[in-house]
Amino acid sequence: MAELNAYMKFRGNAREAMTFYQRCLGGTLHLMTIGETPAMKEQMPEAVWDKIMHSVLTSGSVMLMGSDLTGEEAYSQGNALTICLVCKSKEEIETLFTKLAEGGTVITPLAEMFFGLYGALTDKYGFHWMFQYSETQNA
């Protein structure tokens, strides 16, 4: 079965917030800026290259992920939290994505990214979901 993890979006203070959560929960924190991500760096203005594109805090069985909201995606309470399913197989990600997309809106169709298979949608109840599968993560 897939794992369920929280993915938090911040108003430009993801580094500060994730560092705070690490101090509270312990564990290992990995931060990746927009400037460190070639594909994102090409698409975004230099003014946001220091913003967090993706972060992961792992402590025991706890995994918190997050990023800064940049560009046209404005902060609102409804999009501050995204449910992220880290799937165990390609079949699982395809099945779960298809089921949860029913009656909803696909934001990013399932596609191979530099980190693995990824997709995003808003379900029919208005909740935001991200789906992730990596063969190397599940090897």
| Per-residue model confidence as pLDDT tens digits over 7-48 | 888 888 899 999 999 998 899 999 999 999 888 888 889 999
Secondary structure (3-state) at 95: helix
pLDDT the model gives residue 138: 67
pLDDT the model gives residue 99: 94
**pLDDT at 4 > cutoff 80:** yes
Is 25 in contact with 58 (CB distance < 8 Å)?
A: no
Q: In whole angstroms, what is the distance from residue 76 CA to residue 69 CA?
A: 10
Please tell me the CATH code under which domain 87-139 is placed: 3.30.720.110
pLDDT the model gives residue 43: 86
Hey, which bits of the chain come out as E strands?
3-10, 28-33, 52-59, 62-68, 81-86, 105-113, 116-122, 128-133
Task: For CA atoms 20, 25, 26, 27, give the dihedral sign.
Answer: negative
Q: Topology of 8-79 in CATH?
A: 2,3-Dihydroxybiphenyl 1,2-Dioxygenase; domain 1 (3.10.180)
Is 81 in contact with 75 (CB distance < 8 Å)?
A: no
Is 15 in contact with 36 (CB distance < 8 Å)?
A: no
pLDDT the model gives residue 54: 94
